[in-house]
Structure 1
Amino acid sequence: MRQIRLCAAVLAAYLPLFALAAPATAGRPQPQIEAAIKAENARWAQAYARGDYEAVGHLYTKDGSLLPPGGDRITGASAIAAYLTKASAGSKPDTVSFSNYEFYGSDQVVAEVSDAEIHDQSGKLKYRGKQTLIFLKQGGAWKLHRDIWNDSAP
């Protein structure tokens, strides 16, 4: 009887910890949200492939930011468009593709971890990296809020 009370007391003491841990591990968004985020990635890739960096900038929240490796934060649609325009100066638009998706979040905020590749017009690989994107749902639409990436090893 004493062991049962002891076990019950231990369980009662740890139960709140399990309740707090559940939301942190149960954060996978619903499949339709994942599909919507992938559709936003496709819109980004299509605008980038057209060289329409202004359209890319408008896929971000009002205070959306790029967090490039080794560089300063770039915030806002016009600053994002200017950054991408400068980065691609003198070359034809490249194509980008995303893969190996992981999603975490809710129906209002989603973090995506994925891989990215950029190819030139001939299909030659120019860049391979990893990224973490944070999307916010605003006015019924998903918008990029933070965009951070780094290179993969050669």
Structure 2
Amino acid sequence: MEAASGRARQGRRARLVKRSSRDMEYSSGQLPVNFYCEASSMVLTVILRNCRCVCPGLGWAILCIHVETRRLPLCLYRTLSLEMIMRNIASAIAIVISLSAPALAQKAEIEANNAKWIEMFNKGDFSGIASLYSADATALPPGSAMVQGRPAIEVMWKSMAEQVTDPKLTTVDVKPLGSSAAREIGTFVLKTKGSTPQDVTGKYVVVWEKVGDDWKLATDIWNDGK
């Protein structure tokens, strides 16, 4: 009698779990991966999601792990031991870390270069600013012709410094383009000069190239507005 009652409770629990799993909705960009352990009748679901926080565009990161204890047809699941499951999870974490580490390093170096750019602009060191660009860099200022090469870029920023001051740059996103290039999206705020200074906000896109050990701006485009 007690055994039958236990089996009934187990059946109810299995049905509830199955229903909750069936009704579970995965949002766009999420991928559930199920593993089944025959010895313990354990279903382990590793939910992955397209990583868009720290390392955008790099692949799948572990969002959460959901464990259920129920018996399901083995054909629906990969039959793995618990040890193998944990080993696969560890491998997945290692892959995510290996993919995200270079992106984090690139972002840190790019933000450091942006800080140098701001410091040089405020000091009036426009040759220093030009040195942050690659030798054949192209700048595309709003409403003006393209500016190519370091000497021309130096003249461009010297001219702009007569009209604006106090620039601030915020990196929004860095996407690796291989090991020696990256695309940065960001926003800027600066002040106009004159008797009635005004704040100007805008956005920019920069393609960075690794030249030797240094990151250089290869293409620089920006415009006003959000």
Range of TM-score over shorter length: 0.7 to 0.9
* Alpha-carbon contact 2:103-2:175 (below 8 Å) kept: no
Kindly indicate whether residue 202 of structure 2 is the aligned counterpart of residue 129 of structure 1. Answer: yes
- Where 2:142 maps in the other structure, the secondary structure is coil
1:119 aligns with 2:191: yes
Aligned to 1:37: 110
Q: Alignment length, in residue pairs?
A: 126
Question: Partner of 1:75 in structure 2?
Answer: 148
Question: Is this contact kept in 1: 2:137–2:148, CA < 8 A?
Answer: yes
- Partners of 2:114 and 2:128 in 1: CA distance: 13
Q: Which runs of 5+ in 2 are unaligned?
A: 1-56, 60-99
Query: 1:66–1:73: 8 Å Cα contact kept in structure 2?
Result: yes
| TM-score normalised by the chain length of structure 2 | 0.51
The whole-number CA distance in structure 2 between the counterparts of 1:55 and 1:100 is 21
Question: What is the CA–CA distance in structure 2 between the aligned matches of 1:128 and 1:82, rounded to whole Å?
Answer: 23
Of 94, 109, 114, the residue aligned with 2:165 is: 94
- In structure 2, how many angstroms separate the alpha carbons of the residues matched to 1:149 and 1:77? 18
TM-fit CA distance, 1:87? 2.4
Quick check: 1:139 aligned with 2:212?
Answer: yes
Task: Name the CA distance, whole Å, in 2 between partners of 1:84 and 1:126.
Answer: 18
Secondary structure of 1:94's counterpart equals strand
Distance 1:54 1:43 in 2: 12
Instruction: Identify the residue that residue 46 of structure 1 maps to in structure 2.
Output: 119
Please tell me the residue identity of whatever aligns with 1:98.
L
CA contact (8 A) 2:171 2:184 kept: no
Q: TM-score under structure 1 normalisation?
A: 0.73
Secondary structure of the equivalent of 2:185?
Answer: strand
Matched, 1:26 2:99: no
Moved more, 143-152 or 102-111: 102-111
Task: Find out whether 1:103 has 2:174 as its counterpart.
Answer: yes
Long gaps (5+) in structure 1: 1-24
Regions of 4+ moved over 6 Å: none
Farther-moved stretch of structure 1 (128-137 vs 48-57): 48-57
Q: Is the 8 A contact 1:137 1:143 kept in 2?
A: yes
- The amino acid that maps onto 2:208 is F
Asked if 2 retains the 8 angstrom alpha-carbon contact of 1:117 and 1:125, the reply is no
- Partners of 2:189 and 2:171 lie apart in 1 by 11
Kept after mapping to 1: 8 A contact 2:111/2:171:
no
Q: Hey, what does 2:222 align to over in structure 1? A: 149
Partner of 2:75: none
Higher relative contact order (CA 8 A, sep 6+): 1
Determine what percentage of the aligned residue pairs are the same residue: 26
